[in-house]
Structure 1
Amino acid sequence: MVDKRERLLSLDALRGFTVMGMIVVNCPGSWGHVYGPLLHASWHGVTPTDLVFPFFLFIVGVSIALAYAGKPKLKRERRAAFGKILWRVVKIFAVGVFLNLWPYFDFEEIRIAGVLQRIAIVFGLCAFLFLTTHWRRQMWIGVGVLLAYWGALVWLPVPLDEANAGALESGQIERSHGQVVDVSVSASGSDAIAGNLEPGTNLAAWADRHFLPGRLYEKNWDPEGLLSTLPAVATGIFGMLVGAMVLSIGDPYRRVSWVFFVGVVALLLGSAWNWVFPYNKNLWSSSFVLYSGGWATLGFAACLLLIDVRGHKKWASLGVVFGSNPLVAYALSGMLGFLFYGGLGVPSLSSSWMSAAIAMGLPAKLASLLYALFYLSMIYLPVLWLWKRRIFVKL
């Protein structure tokens, strides 16, 4: 069995590679020149970029299984564990809101939702489930959430509000930056539209408009909104189940084989569900949960095999450095971006980079990618400094 007292180097490496992916796709030299795989799907569909966030939530789930494997049995110990979990949720959530406000701190335009906020909620709910339920109940809760979410979006009527009424009349809805997209919706009685999976008119978007405080990222909905966080919790549960399986299997090659098998099954189930409930990161659709979870599981299995079983650790060192302080790396990438992109009156390094690279004859998309890799190297320096001194920042 895996020693519960030791960190899995493979998990640290996978976490680090995931954070690196987050930084690269978030920080191109120019958003007007980006290779297709490094962009999110506009609505239905999935790109490699769409897989980055669910990879991280999957890793959160695996980490919970490893960290809380020895569940506290006494009520006093369990209450203390719950208190620590809740406090960690609050801190991670607060950092997410802080990054949304940085650097102008315009509280009139505050966005409450966000990546770290969703990570905090998923961590808190999954950790609570792990400490209070058996893995079989966790599995059925995850399955129930995915089925219920599918049914709610497809079959429940969506109450008529200003956005839905406008979409019903014009066949269009507005998203961020004034962009208008076509939608196909139909009335369901006099005060609702039929359940749908269209941008901005679905039940999750309606819930964001009416119950999510603060500014919405896409004007009429938020990709880290309220209802879509529920299937994101299922992604965390999936990671917990895989983590529990890793702990329970003693033989390393058998362990890797089972993780690979689970990943393939999840991919197949997600692909089948995609026929009726398409992959969609904005909605965090149930098919997207299984499909992205399948790829995350296969990535974890590959890291387990190459790093922990075969001992090929040197090539993974870059991932381990980032994976040891993922919050620092992510926060720095968000905070320093305003300086590198010309915020606060500082000349834009990204614009200068793009102009110089294109003048040298480089294709614009290649120059944009090279800038993202350069920016990643700038984030690498402080996290490498922390790693060499064995400083691990945890909230």
Structure 2
Amino acid sequence: MSSMIAVTTTELDERQPLLHNPLSLSNEEVEISNTPSTSSSNASPPPTQRLLSLDVFRGLTVALMILVDDAGGAFPCINHSPWFGVTLADFVMPFFLFVVGVSISLALKKVSSKSLATKKVILRTIKLFLLGLVLQGGYFHGRHDLTYGIDVGKIRLMGVLQRISIGYLFAAMSEIWLVDSITVDSPMTFVKKYYIQWMIAFLFCTFYICLLYGLYVPDWEFEVPSTNLFGYEFGTKIVNCAVKGSLEPPCNAVGLIDRFFLGEHHLYQHPVYRRTKQCSVNSPDYGPLPPSSPGWCLAPFDPEGILSSLMAAITCFLGLQFGHILVHFKGHMQRLCLWSVYSFIILFTGYVFELLGIPFCKPLYTLSYMCITAGASGLALTIIFYIVSLSFEYYLINI
């Protein structure tokens, strides 16, 4: 997570005391003019205004990322969960994805040209994906090796930035092409304007669940590298699966799809399940293999794989809907109430899924994990928005 960056846009702070001047909106930013609309053409450019609470949320998420990256080794309890369960570090990725969704709703509040906006979204997605390949693609030859550079045969194809780019692409394209051009003046028109996005999100979830529980996972094999640090004899190992619907590390559909489409050598080679009790004597921290450890403990697995990234995109969709509330509802208390209600509903839904047998699991990005972290993201934004709004109003009163 150390190479994580946030997709940023320029947003509108619609606090009522600032809105005394006309507004003009472009595809990328919202500008607040300091002069009347009849001002001369040689007037100075209008300043930009940001949504302060979203900036604070983004900054706190970066701080949390740094905390768990630096202190996670010393305090495994805040490090990523080895497989099932949720820890503090497991909220970082959903927070970033949620912020991306909120930002998209503000940046694409009005789209003058859908084709131009689509081009910009695709270019930004490609840039972010390629940046992820460079920063997180894995294996670089060292300075003292015979060659220097990226080993294309072992480069990691997926990663944190690649996942963000996928979520950004799906959410932004839906905001450009799947929104009705009607004016929102009632709850019914609000639902009508965005109901297609909700249908797409529901189809994504259904598709994910069908593959996760319905795809047959056969036996598979992998190569144990000769340079492994655990003294495990290298060679080809066979993992016995022949199951359907398993969520355990060796035999899940998420890993099957990644091995098929990406290939074993292009997956993350140090997965978190090496900190489970089956694979580490120091669990929940990394450590030597137990005497009776299964062979799959050294198998690769990508926590930002293809199928799990599809479910991660739903977090962007939910952030998008929270941004819609910000755009269409102007009262602070109205926004806070709606955000709070929706956040608790999403949280409750996540716990219900967990009780029904869908465990919290970040590497698989299960439906329960998606709901619990998205609900927490909404609550965090609500609290930050409330605190920042109070602080800003107190500042206005006392200046």
Pick the TM interval, shorter chain.
0.5 to 0.7
Specify whether residues 259 and 152 from structure 1 end up closer, same or farther in structure 2 by C-alpha distance, changes over 3 A only. same
**Counterpart mapping for 1:144-293 below 5 A:** 144-162=203-221, 192-213=242-263, 214-217=265-268, 218=271, 219-275=299-355, 276-293=357-374
Q: Does the CA contact (< 8 Å) of 1:147 and 1:286 recur in 2? A: no
**Counterpart mapping for 1:365-384 below 5 A:** none
State the partner residue of 2:134: 98
Q: Does the CA contact (< 8 Å) of 1:159 and 1:193 recur in 2? A: yes
Residue 166 (structure 2) pairs with residue 121 (structure 1): yes
Q: Does the CA contact (< 8 Å) of 2:219 and 2:240 recur in 1? A: no
Q: Give the CA deviation at 1:141.
A: 1.6
Cα distance between partner residues in 1 of 2:154 and 2:310: 25
Specify whether residues 147 and 310 from structure 1 end up closer, same or farther in structure 2 by C-alpha distance, changes over 3 A only. farther
When Rg is computed on C-alpha atoms for both structures, the one with the higher figure is: 2
Q: Give the CA deviation at 1:101.
A: 4.8
TM-score (norm 1): 0.67
TM-score (norm 2): 0.67
Gaps of 5+ in 1: 167-175, 315-395
- What secondary structure sits across from 1:227 in the alignment? helix
Match for 1:82 among 114, 118, 139?
118
Corresponding letter in the other structure for 1:150: I
Q: Give the CA deviation at 1:91.
A: 1.0
Q: C-alpha deviations, 1:151-176, integer Å up to 9, x for none?
A: 3212332244326xx9xxxxxxxxx9
Q: Does the CA contact (< 8 Å) of 1:139 and 1:238 recur in 2? A: no
Specify whether residues 255 and 309 from structure 1 end up closer, same or farther in structure 2 by C-alpha distance, changes over 3 A only. farther
- What secondary structure sits across from 1:162 in the alignment? strand
- What secondary structure sits across from 1:69 in the alignment? coil
Cα distance between partner residues in 2 of 1:139 and 1:8: 25
State the partner residue of 1:353: none
Gaps of 5+ in 2: 1-11, 15-24, 31-48, 142-148, 180-193, 233-238, 272-298
- What secondary structure sits across from 1:274 in the alignment? helix
More contact order relative to length (CA 8 Å, sep ≥ 6): 1
Q: Give the CA deviation at 1:258.
A: 0.8
Identity over aligned pairs, percent:
31
Residue 50 (structure 2) pairs with residue 7 (structure 1): yes
Q: C-alpha deviations, 1:246-274, integer Å up to 9, x for none?
A: 21112111111111111111100001001
Specify whether residues 177 and 40 from structure 1 end up closer, same or farther in structure 2 by C-alpha distance, changes over 3 A only. farther
**Counterpart mapping for 1:260-339 below 5 A:** 260-275=340-355, 276-311=357-392
Q: C-alpha deviations, 1:88-124, integer Å up to 9, x for none?
A: 1111111111112576434143111110111111111
**Counterpart mapping for 1:350-361 below 5 A:** none
Considering fraction of residues, name the structure with more helix.
1
Cα distance between partner residues in 2 of 1:177 and 1:295: 37
Q: Which runs of 4+ in 1 moved over 6 A?
A: none
Q: Does the CA contact (< 8 Å) of 1:2 and 1:247 recur in 2? A: no
Q: Does the CA contact (< 8 Å) of 1:58 and 1:236 recur in 2? A: yes
- What secondary structure sits across from 1:228 in the alignment? helix
Q: C-alpha deviations, 1:13-53, integer Å up to 9, x for none?
A: 1011111111221233x83x22512x111111101110110
